[in-house]
Homo-oligomer: A and B are copies of this chain.
Amino acid sequence: MTTRVLVWNENVHETTQAEIRAIYPDGIHGAIAEGLTELLGDDVEVRTATLAEPEHGLSEEALAGTDVLLWWGHMAHDQVDDEVVARVQRHVLGGMGLLVLHSAHFSKIFIRLMGTTCSLAWRNDAERELVWTTSPGHPIAAGIEQPLVVEHQEMYGEHFDIPNPDEVVFISSFEGGEVFRSGVTFTRGRGRIFYFSPGDQEYPVYFHPQVRRVLANGVRWAAPADGERRLPEVTNPARRDWLVQPV
């Protein structure tokens, strides 16, 4: 069964800063989409969408046709329409997988799904990041080196104010000595969420073969097991005789 993937990117750095466009000529979304297609081939059908599109490319129809959504945002979190955020949340709770990337820890959708500030420590000093697998049997860690080395990356450090994750798959360290839970999973409603921090507009992290492998694994993992999209809802059932089949 083909997994329908939608890579969303605010696409502001790339369209307003030449030095970022030089790193990501097809946008961060383009680089991510390329990596997923390369690794997952016919198992996926990959589309992209950006902030500037009508409804940010996240119409009801677009989301209804998406099994897994990837989200990258940084400087334009505030420009994302609240109605669209509520719609994305409904789809996640109804079963759509969600991968939240790097600075999207501060996206409206992630904060809403977590219920916390999602704050952290940061420093942009081109530090080496080591991504250590702490859950080696997890499907998202399949084929990942111990450690995955990112040559230059923005530092993200603890305390990362998120709820206790279901699973901590990766923990990173940085040259300056900080640590960060860089790969964590959550369940919200019927949806599965994976947050992965390596990836920044100033460094070509989304071309890193191992980072691409993590995202491909994440897409597989977050894809809904059944095709159903159904928001959990209140019910008011009558008492039943359980041994008689319901009508």
Interface string of A96-131 (1 = CB under 8 A from B): 000000000000000011111101111101001010
Nearest chain B CB to A38 CB, angstrom units: 19
Number of interface residues, chain A, beta carbon within 8 A:
74
Is there contact, CB below 8 Å, between B166 and A119?
no
A237: chain B residues within 8 A (beta carbon)? 121, 123, 157
Is there contact, CB below 8 Å, between B178 and A123?
no
Answer yes or no: A238 CB below 8 A from chain B CBs: yes
Is there contact, CB below 8 Å, between A243 and B149?
yes
Is there contact, CB below 8 Å, between B240 and A115?
no
Using known A-B contacts A115-B115, A188-B163, determine if residue A158 contacts B137 with beta carbons closer than 8 Å.
Answer: no
Interface of A, helix, strand, loop or mixed by DSSP:
loop
> Which residue from B95, B120, B137, B172 sits with its C-beta under 8 Å from A225?
B137
Nearest chain B CB to A85 CB, angstrom units: 12
Interface string of A220-247 (1 = CB under 8 A from B): 0000111000011111111110110000
Is there contact, CB below 8 Å, between A177 and B188?
no
A178: chain B residues within 8 A (beta carbon)? 130, 132, 173
Is there contact, CB below 8 Å, between A159 and B134?
yes
> Which residue from B112, B117, B234 sits with its C-beta under 8 Å from A93?
B117
Interface string of A156-197 (1 = CB under 8 A from B): 011111011011100111011111010000111111100000
- Can you name 12 extra interface pairs (CB under 8 A) apart from A89-B115, A93-B161? A115-B115, A117-B189, A117-B233, A122-B236, A130-B242, A132-B178, A133-B158, A136-B232, A137-B187, A143-B226, A151-B243, A176-B239
